[in-house]
Structure 1
Amino acid sequence: MAGHSKFKNIMHRKGAQDKKRSNLFSKLSREITVAAKMGAPDPDMNPRLRLAVNNAKAQSMPKDNIQRAIDKASGGDEDNYEEVRYEGYGPGGVALIVEALTDNRNRTATAVRTAFSKNGGNLGTEGSVAHGFERKGLIEYPASVGDEEKVLEAAIEAGADDVESDEGGHTIWTEMEALHEVAGALEKTLGEAENVKLAWKPNITVEMEEGPAGTLLKLVDALDDDDDVQTVWGNYEISDEVMEKLEA
């Protein structure tokens, strides 16, 4: 089950970008409202809402904001958000999956297509890159929760599929259908996770050189900056050395 995570580089950078975005709370609120509309407004009775609330708490979103987002769903909010997925290729042939929650598909499609075209990418059709990914459950813990052996033992007991640990933390993978159950079991032994969500895990990653990597990160940032875009997944890997050069 254990192994070094090529995916950590992607996810940790994504987490850092999330914290910098001024519109992070609005995106978290949108996910909470949609989750509450799709099921019960009680997180204990609604697994998707519970995940949304936990992720909001992990980003230090105030309790009042969380409750307002839940109340918005039960208050007959006139905004009707739908889930949309876009797929395409970025610089260097990197495959990207963009997940969005939108009340206007035309607006979102135009914005996503523009971001791709202006930053060395090409937006494809649905299914054009998803075949290179697996739909999995993703649970993340900081390194401070314990060593690899402790986390591995807890993950095995909880029924997880795979654990990847490094100095940045622990990534635990589950089958999509088992995410809520495994996350609940891990919470009892390791405490509340930093991140719990459904993810697109690449089957093979692409090592990026400095030039294409810089353009790719501009594309990812442009997508992240769109209010409708919730998450951007990719099959790229950028080494620490390249990241240091890009951030210099």
Structure 2
Amino acid sequence: MAGHSKFANIKHRKGAQDKKRSALFSKLSREITVAAKMGTPDPDMNPRLRLAVNTARGQSMPKDNIQRAIDKATGGDAEDYEEIRFEGFGPGGVSLIVETLTDNRNRTVTDVRTIFSKNGGNMGESGSVAHGFERLGLVTYKADAGDEEKVLEAAMEAGAEDIASGDDGHEIWTAADDLHAVAGALEKSLGEPEGAKLAWRPNVEVTVNEKEAQTLLNLIDTLDDNDDVQTVWGNYDVPDEIMEKLS
């Protein structure tokens, strides 16, 4: 199960999230509201909401913000958000999956297409890249959750399928249908996770050179900056020495 973690690489430059904390909280709030509206506003009875709340807590989102996002789902002024997945290509043949939550489909389609075209990428048809990924559950913990042996043991007992640990943290992968159960079991043994969500894990990674990496990371940053974009997944691998130069 164990292996070298590409946590910092695949998650991209985490510092970019830290300096855009308010934007991150806005995205987390939107996911919480959608999850609460699709099911019950009680996290204990709504697996998707429970995972969204855990992720928000893992990002140090204040409790009041979390509760407001839940309450918004039951209010008369709650927006209707639509989930749209985009697939496309970045420099070096990299495949990207962009997950969005939007209250205006036309705006989001136009925005995402424009971002791809202006930043060295191009949009693909639905299904053009998803076949190269697995849809799995992903639970992440910071490095201080424990050493690799402790986390590995907890993951195995929880029924996880794979784990990758490194200096930046732990990635615990599970079958999509088992995510809620595994995340709950891990919470009992390791505490609240940094994040817990459905994810797209690439079957094969594409290594990019420095020029391609610069363009690719700019593309990902620009996508992340869009309010409607929730998550960007990719099959890229940026060598550590190149990432250090660009960070």
TM over 0.5: yes
Please name the residue that 1:38 is paired with. Answer: 38
Provide the rounded CA distance (Å) in 1 between the counterparts of 2:200 and 2:13: 14
- Equivalent residues of 1:8, 1:171 under 8 A apart: no
Distance 1:138 1:20 in 2: 24
Runs of 4+ with >6 A deviation: none
**How far is the alpha carbon of 1:143 from its aligned partner?**
1.6
Match for 1:96: what amino acid? L
State how far apart, in whole Å, the 1-side matches of 2:201 and 2:193 are. Answer: 19
8 Å contact kept, 1:19–1:59 = no
1:142 Cα offset (Å): 1.5
What is the distance in 1 between the residues matched to 2:67 and 2:33? 10
Give distance in 2, aligned partners of 1:187 and 1:15: 23
Q: Describe the shift of the 1:78–1:190 C-alpha distance in structure 2 as closer, same or farther (beyond 3 A).
A: closer
| Counterparts of residues 69-84 of structure 1 (less than 5 Å) | 69-84=69-84
**Which residue number corresponds to residue 135 of structure 2?**
135
Give ranges in structure 2 of 5+ residues lacking alignment: none
Which residues in structure 2 correspond to 1:35-74 (within 5 Å)? 35-74=35-74
Matched residues in 1 for 2:15 and 2:44: separation?
A: 29
Shift of 1:53: 1.0
Give CA deviations for 1:191-247 in whole Å, capped at 9, x if unaligned: 111111110000011111100100001100110010000000000011221012123
Q: Secondary structure at the match of 2:201?
A: strand
1:144-183 matched pairs, under 5 angstroms: 144-183=144-183
Aligned AA (1:130): A
Distance 1:20 1:135 in 2: 29
What root-mean-square deviation, in Å, do the aligned CA atoms of Structure 1 and Structure 2 show? Answer: 1.2
Residue 14 (structure 1) shift: 5.3
TM-superposed deviation, 1:157: 0.7
1:94–1:235 CA contact under 8 A, matched in 2: yes
- What code does the residue aligned with 1:141 have? Y
Task: Work out the CA distance in 2 between the residues paired with 1:182 and 1:225.
Answer: 31
Q: Residues 161-214 of structure 1, C-alpha deviation per residue, up to 9 Å, x if partnerless?
A: 001111211111000000000011111111111111110000011111100100
For residue 7 of structure 1, report the CA deviation from its aligned partner.
5.1
Amino acid of the structure 1 residue aligned with 2:170: H
- 1-side partners of 2:187 and 2:161: how far apart? 16
Please give the secondary structure, in 2, of the residue aligned with 1:35.
helix
In structure 1, the residue corresponding to 2:134 is in which secondary structure? strand
Secondary structure in 1 aligned to 2:77? coil
Contact 1:7–1:237 (CA under 8 A) maintained in structure 2: no
| 5+ long unaligned stretches in structure 1 | none
Q: How many residues align?
A: 246
For residue 46 of structure 1, report the CA deviation from its aligned partner.
Answer: 0.6
> Which residue number corresponds to residue 18 of structure 2?
19
Q: Which amino acid aligns with 2:94?
A: V
Contact 1:155–1:163 under 8 Å retained in 2: yes
Residue by residue, what CA displacement relative to the aligned partner does 1:47-93 show, whole Å, maximum 9, x if unpaired? 11111111111111111111111111111234110100000000111
Q: Structure 2 length normalisation: TM-score? A: 0.96
Residues 1:69 and 1:31: Cα distance change in structure 2 (over 3 Å): same
